[in-house]
């Protein structure tokens, strides 16, 4: 039951995060990227601050260090994603972010010395093909492949870095969350990311990479509340607490539904449409999840 609870928790996260692409894209008209990251995560940390003493009261030695490690990866993921959203579309950002399923098995092999099950790899491969179809606006099978790299910009590059960091983060979280209590890890990650956001606001403004901008109108306030309370405090708590019951590879596949939800919200809010190949891509992603879940689990049961 814990395994299924973990999978449901990650799916809830995917639903929450799917809406953030459009919300953050809209908020970047009122705040510069690193300023938004700093405000979002600092506010989330302040929400948890009254409980900090209780959170760390019975924590093990090394919990803070482990939380900082996760926090650095957490910050790098959100920072690169937010930077990318300034230069690319919400829909495209969702698609590219979803490619972290490519990197998760690689980092699992490098860091945990675990070779993913055959059916997990097959499931991941189908998901990758699904993401490829989902991101295509062409009208033939040749368009799916001919479009690769044709519209790749700096925003897409930052988003691809985000996918790399998320793949790394999922594996680190799998290892660390099994050793330490989840709430100190949640608070540490959020606090480190908030500090990192404001630190990079200063560094980027000095180097001219970012012009500091913020205007607290309804649009930005709503974005901060949604991303801080739901997409940060709630989602990080759910992921940190429950992902240890799900393999990193399978977690990556569940979270790969994020671009589907992102595309759906973008369609409703921004009128961004999904092509027929996009629909095929959705079906392929779902098939990849089912194959990874049913066949890989079936193999485990047969071996027991």
Q: Tens of pLDDT along 52-105?
A: 888 888 788 888 899 999 999 999 999 999 999 988 888 778 877 877 877 888
**Paired tokens of 143:** 């368009």
**Paired tokens of 224:** 């901060």
Spacing of C-alpha 225 from chain mean position = 18
CB < 8 Å & 24+ apart, contacts of 135-140: 135/92, 135/95, 135/96, 135/278, 135/281, 136/275, 136/277, 136/278, 136/281, 137/275, 137/277, 137/278, 138/275, 138/277, 139/275, 139/276
Find the domain containing 88 and state its range. 2-127+153-271
Count other Cβ atoms within 10 Å, centred on residue 193.
28
Tell whether 140 is covered by a domain.
Answer: no
d(CA 297, CA 54): 38
Tell whether 297 is covered by a domain.
Answer: no
pLDDT averaged over the chain?
A: 83
> Mean pLDDT of residues grouped by 10 in the chain (304 residues)?
80 90 90 93 94 82 91 95 88 79 83 79 82 66 56 81 92 89 91 95 83 85 95 90 80 78 79 72 76 59 46
d(CA 98, CA 75): 18
Spacing of C-alpha 294 from chain mean position = 24
Tell me the sheet residues that pair with 214: 31
Longest dimension (CA), the chain: 60
Tell whether 111 is covered by a domain.
Answer: yes
Question: What pTM does this model have?
Answer: 0.80
Residue 164 has what pLDDT?
92
Tell whether 142 is covered by a domain.
Answer: no
Tell whether 283 is covered by a domain.
Answer: no
Tell whether 8 is covered by a domain.
Answer: yes
Residue 140 has what pLDDT?
62
Tell whether 193 is covered by a domain.
Answer: yes
Q: What's the sign of the alpha-carbon dihedral 22, 28, 29, 30?
A: positive
When divided into structural domains, the chain yields a total of 1
User: 120-153 b/e with 16+ CB inside 10 Å = b?
Assistant: bebbbebbbbbbbbbbbeeeeeeebeeeeeeeee
d(CA 127, CA 103): 13
Tell whether 227 is covered by a domain.
Answer: yes
């Amino acid at each position: 039951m814990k395994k299924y609870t973990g999978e449901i928790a990650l799916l809830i996260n995917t639903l929450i995060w799917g809406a953030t692409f459009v919300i953050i894209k809209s908020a970047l008209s009122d705040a510069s990227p690193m300023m938004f990251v700093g405000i979002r995560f600092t506010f989330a940390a302040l929400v948890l601050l009254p409980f900090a003493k209780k959170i760390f009261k019975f924590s093990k030695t090394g919990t803070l260090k482990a939380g900082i490690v996760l926090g650095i990866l957490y910050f790098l993921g959100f920072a690169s994603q937010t930077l990318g959203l300034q230069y690319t579309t919400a829909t495209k950002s969702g698609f590219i972010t979803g490619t972290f399923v490519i990197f998760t098995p690689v980092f699992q092999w490098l860091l945990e010395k675990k070779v993913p099950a055959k059916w997990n790899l097959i499931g991941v491969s189908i998901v990758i093909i699904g993401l490829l179809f989902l991101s295509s606006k062409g009208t033939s099978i040749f368009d799916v492949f001919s479009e690769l790299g044709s519209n790749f910009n700096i925003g897409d590059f930052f988003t691809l870095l985000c996918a790399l960091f998320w793949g790394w983060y999922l594996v680190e979280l799998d290892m660390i969350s099994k050793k330490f209590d989840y709430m100190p890890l949640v608070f540490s990650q959020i606090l480190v990311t908030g500090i990192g956001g404001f630190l990079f606001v200063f560094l980027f403004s000095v180097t001219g990479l970012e012009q500091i901008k913020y205007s607290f109108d309804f649009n930005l306030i709503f974005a901060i509340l949604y991303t801080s309370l739901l997409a940060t405090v709630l989602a990080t708590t759910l992921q940190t607490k429950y992902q240890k019951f799900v393999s990193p590879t399978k977690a990556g596949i569940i979270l790969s539904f994020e671009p589907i939800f992102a595309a759906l919200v973008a369609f409703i809010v921004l009128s961004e449409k999904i092509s027929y190949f996009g629909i095929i891509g959705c079906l392929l992603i779902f098939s990849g999840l089912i194959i990874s879940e049913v066949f890989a689990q079936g193999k485990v049961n047969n071996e027991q």
